[in-house]
Amino acid sequence: MKKSRLEFDIELDVNQVPEKITMDSSDSQAELEIKSLMVSAWDSKKRESLTVDLWTKDMMINDMYIMYHQTLHSMASSLERSTGHNKLADALRDYCDFFAEQTNILSKD
């Protein structure tokens, strides 16, 4: 069985605020510098989510809005694929449209 590893390195300032986040994987030859990181895992014994949300102090607010919007869309697609619950996934996509409208992140062509 092949194993894969994903590694995050976080450099903190004196106040413990992330200054730099890098991501590397055992399957990749390139190390990426990223501005924000969201990791969510499921603890099946406690039946609860474990989350880590980090962002560097130079992450722009508008970029954070865009990241949330894209992440929510990805979650809707994942929900649809994993459960087959199209109506619920579409409701989440509707919220994504509302979110984009409220944050003015999509251009109006």
Q: What is the pLDDT of residues 94-104, one digit of tens each?
A: 999 999 999 99
| 8 A C-beta contact, residue 46 and residue 55 | no
Strand partners, 53: 38
Residues 32 and 76 in one domain: no
Domain limits for position 77 = 60-104
In a domain, 109, yes or no: no
Single out the residue of 48, 88, 53, 49 nearest to residue 71, CA to CA: 53
Residues 1 and 37 in one domain: yes
Residues 72 and 53 in one domain: no
pLDDT for the residue numbered 23: 93
Residues 36 and 79 in one domain: no
pTM attached to this predicted model? 0.85
Indicate whether 107 pLDDT > 80. no
Residues 51 and 80 in one domain: no
